[in-house]
Structure 1
Amino acid sequence: MNYLSRDRDRYLLRYEIIGAIVVCILAPVFHFLFAWSGNNHFVGIFAAVNESVWEHTKIVYFPFLFYTIAEYFIVKPDFSRFFAAKTISMSLILLLMITFFYTYSGMFGIESLDVDIVFTFVLTILVFYISYRLYRSGRDFGSLFILIIILFAAILVMELAFTAMPPHIPLFQDSESGIFGFPVS
């Protein structure tokens, strides 16, 4: 059931489409931003610092987060429903990115930059659509809101902290150099 007026619905859909495009454009930028900054550690908190699977989640997470903040102030949606839809969508994209990479690379014994890029773009478009549908559904996330806040905070803390202090497991290991976290200068 659609809980938005037709005009409001189209307005939100327009910004979700723009968001998917913006994140697809910014993802490659966030892949190279750390190197372009001269390996600035502040930039590395938000951009990929190596070729680990984890660092590649940041190239979608932070553009998505920054766009979501801007979108909130432009669209002025109901905060709790918007926050829940965006948090659930972002959690989904991170989970699917990691799962897809390990599934296809494990099944076929290959790693393909082309597959990674296409899947990242498809997944980005999909999660903006899911976010739109969750918000538009009018679902009341009140009973789950504390869990959603905890999920959002946990993901944000992990995305911010695991570059400087990565667990020493393959998810965080640079596939090219074997290092974890920031490159050694």
Structure 2
Amino acid sequence: MDLWRKKIFKWQVISVLWILVAGSLLHFTYEWSGKSPIVGAFSAVNESVWEHLKLGYWSMIFFCLIEYPFLKDMVGNYFFAKAVGITAMNAFIVVFFYLYVALTGKHSLFFDILLYIIGAVIFGILNYTIMIKKHDGKLNRLGVALLVIFGFTFILFTYFPPNLKIFKAP
């Protein structure tokens, strides 16, 4: 394996571990903050599926602040990889959460945590796979746009959740 691929691989392993730890902590930061509306934009404010999707997204965004300076010169599609990874992670969590609840008729904390872990691993695998491929800047600009839209949507729907099942606590 080339040295630059090893470096990218190491960063993706660290990013998965970060998402698991930081995302888990973000589950509690809203309560710890005394229900601060600012902290609520980045933390789970209730037990809905939507609020739990924020945990992976915001922990990934915070990690990008650390990781990007180390990879920016060797990865031309960094933000595209992050956008694809977080989209896949969250899609996996949503699909399999509703699938297992439909099949079992009940919600399980064990399966919720397992889905989050598997989703984070999917995120890391996709990140690595995309980052080692050469792409032009157009895909990276698309990735930036998607990440900004996701962030805006997560904040907006924290304060103004639509009347849909995904936004309601089970």
1:76 aligns with 2:72: yes
Paired with 1:80 and 1:14, the residues of 2 have a C-alpha distance of: 17
Distance 1:10 1:151, change over 3 A: same
User: 1:138-163 CA deviation, whole Å, 9 max, x = no partner?
Assistant: 24463x45544442232111111110
8 Å contact 1:84–1:141 — kept in the other structure?
no
1:67 aligns with 2:63: yes
8 Å contact 2:76–2:134 — kept in the other structure?
no
The residue that corresponds to 1:173 in the other structure is: 168
Distance 1:153 1:79, change over 3 A: farther
1:107 aligns with 2:103: yes
The residue that corresponds to 1:38 in the other structure is: 34
Paired with 1:146 and 1:16, the residues of 2 have a C-alpha distance of: 21
Distance 1:78 1:8, change over 3 A: closer
8 Å contact 2:27–2:52 — kept in the other structure?
yes
> For 1:102-181, what aligned pairs fall within 5 Å after superposition?
102-140=98-136, 142=138, 144=139, 147-175=142-170
Give 1:122 deviation, angstroms: 1.7
SS at 2:113's partner residue? helix
Count of paired positions: 170
Q: What is the identity percentage for the equivalent residue pairs of Structure 1 and Structure 2?
A: 27
Give 5+ residue unaligned stretches, structure 2.
none
Query: Which has the greater radius of gyration?
Result: 1
Pick the structure with more helix per residue.
Answer: 2
Q: Normalised by the size of structure 2, how large is the TM-score?
A: 0.91
Q: Normalised by the size of structure 1, how large is the TM-score?
A: 0.84
8 Å contact 1:52–1:171 — kept in the other structure?
yes
Paired with 1:145 and 1:134, the residues of 2 have a C-alpha distance of: 11
Paired with 1:149 and 1:60, the residues of 2 have a C-alpha distance of: 17
Paired with 1:119 and 1:79, the residues of 2 have a C-alpha distance of: 28
Paired with 1:19 and 1:145, the residues of 2 have a C-alpha distance of: 19
Give 5+ residue unaligned stretches, structure 1.
176-185
RMSD of aligned Cα (Å): 1.8
1:55 aligns with 2:38: no
8 Å contact 2:77–2:137 — kept in the other structure?
yes
Paired with 1:83 and 1:156, the residues of 2 have a C-alpha distance of: 13
